[in-house]
Amino acid sequence: MKSILFLIAYLGLSLQFYFPQNIKVRIIDSEENKPLQNVRIMSDNVVLYSNDDGEVELKNDKKPLNIFAQGYEELTLESLTPIIKLKPLYKDIEEVKISKIDIRQMFQNALKDYLSIYYSKPSLYQSTIKQKGYIDGKMINLLIANIDIWALANAYNFKAQDNVDSFVQIGFNNIKYFKTKVSSNDYPFNTDIQITPKNFIQKLFFNSEIIGFLNDTKNSVFVSKILSENQNIQIIYFETKDEINTYKGKFTYSKTDKVISSFDLYITNMSQSFKNKNKRGEAYEGVATSNNIKYDFYKKDGKYLPALVYTEIKGYALYKEKKYPVSFIQEINFQKFLESDKKGLKNKIDLNKNLTENIANKEIKENNTLLSKEEQKFIDEP
């Protein structure tokens, strides 16, 4: 009996030795020690991002890691440590003025050369999507799922927008976490907040965002400033406004490749309204007042591939003349890229339905995602 127990223990230790264990890593600002979210970590052609607490689980397999966050020094590590510190490239953004940087021309050039700079052949991305909603400062909805994204040319085709499936398809693999806060019948709002795929398909593609941004600001004057420049990589800050909205953003630009590889835009002073209904069928109005959208790309074999699309919408819901703060966050992480063909996916979802409506039983098949403390607390609540 002792020999059997010894053998089991030995095999257990051997398996731990031969199969790399995951290590939880925390990424922080080296000067302020604050956690950094949405830090890109690449290893062995797999792309991951840190969560809201700056944490991510990584395999301890001794393979080199590339770590990138806009506004920080890029790191390459040969081994893992529990805490990784990133050094800021610049401090506070001081007053910006009209400069010689032609922001509009840079975006127009990116659009003109889009299919030659960014990867433009049929692609399949093994991805994760996270959606979470808040009402009155409290999380009321969380969805995390594995999805496949097939793209014909990695660009939004406006000529085929009536047949979106011809150039982009989504396959829903499984739900990792899904919870909507149970509310009483007298709760004034709908807690199942989701963005249907048809409403975020355009945001999947950076070319669509550039076109929309240029159209919205066609009569606007830009002010800008180079925040950092190192080895032909610039971080450029800009501001502008149209008749209604104010735009503030920054992007990472390679002077060598003439490419925008990271883009972060804040739009404020919005007043886009939408209608919804609660459990009793009562209508209420919602108003979006700000939007933050981010794109992140990485270079592989001379072309740039998508890694992250992030959207955060803030506003309020109006019920019986009282305003309640509302916000919604969606993250799409393109974790692994695979070459594909023009056939698309065998099992694609209906883009007109909510993501969760595309899986009948809503079965949760996997839950090994590292949640933030706030997300874990929400999941654990009865």
Distance, CA of 40 to CA of 65 (rounded, Å): 10
Identify the domain boundary among 86, 115, 142. Answer: 86
β-pairing, 22-29 with 83-86? parallel
Q: Are residues 171 and 79 in the same domain?
A: no
Enclosing domain of residue 341? 103-380
Residue 17: per-residue pLDDT: 46
The tally of domains found in the chain comes to 2
Q: Are residues 155 and 72 in the same domain?
A: no
Q: Are residues 42 and 158 in the same domain?
A: no
> Percentage of the chain surpassing pLDDT 70?
89
Phi, psi at 320, each rounded to 5°:
50, 50
Assess if residue 150 is contained within a domain.
yes
Residue 11: per-residue pLDDT: 44
Distance, CA of 238 to CA of 277 (rounded, Å): 39
Q: Are residues 35 and 124 in the same domain?
A: no
Assess if residue 226 is contained within a domain.
yes
**Cα distance from N-terminal residue to C-terminal residue, the chain:** 44
In degrees to the nearest 10, what's the CA dihedral of 135, 139, 145, 150? 40
Q: Are residues 331 and 193 in the same domain?
A: yes
Residue 16: per-residue pLDDT: 46
Q: Are residues 46 and 78 in the same domain?
A: yes
Q: How confident is the model at residue 15 (pLDDT cuts 50, 70, 90)?
A: very low
For 9-23, 107-121, 176-190, 336-350, which range has the lowest pLDDT when averaged over its residues?
A: 9-23
Q: Are residues 146 and 264 in the same domain?
A: yes
Assess if residue 93 is contained within a domain.
no
Assess if residue 95 is contained within a domain.
no
| pLDDT, tens only, 326-368 | 999 999 999 999 999 999 999 898 888 877 777 666 666 666 7
| pLDDT, tens only, 141-187 | 999 999 999 999 999 999 999 999 999 999 988 889 989 887 766 67
Residue 357: per-residue pLDDT: 77
Predicted confidence (pLDDT) at residue 10 exceeds the cutoff of 70: no
Assess if residue 187 is contained within a domain.
yes
Phi, psi at 198, each rounded to 5°:
-60, -25
Identify the domain boundary among 86, 117, 139. Answer: 86
Assess if residue 142 is contained within a domain.
yes
Assess if residue 222 is contained within a domain.
yes
- Residue 27: helix, strand or coil by DSSP? strand
291: left (phi over 0), alpha (psi -120 to 50) or beta: beta
Distance, CA of 342 to CA of 152 (rounded, Å): 6
Q: Are residues 185 and 156 in the same domain?
A: yes
We report the CATH number of the domain holding residue 77 as 2.60.40.1120
pTM, full prediction: 0.91
Assess if residue 94 is contained within a domain.
no
| pLDDT, tens only, 38-63 | 999 999 899 999 999 999 999 888 78
Predicted confidence (pLDDT) at residue 270 exceeds the cutoff of 80: yes
Q: Are residues 155 and 42 in the same domain?
A: no
> Residues 234-238: what's their mean pLDDT?
95
Q: Are residues 258 and 110 in the same domain?
A: yes
Q: Are residues 289 and 167 in the same domain?
A: yes
Distance, CA of 52 to CA of 295 (rounded, Å): 17
Q: Are residues 237 and 297 in the same domain?
A: yes
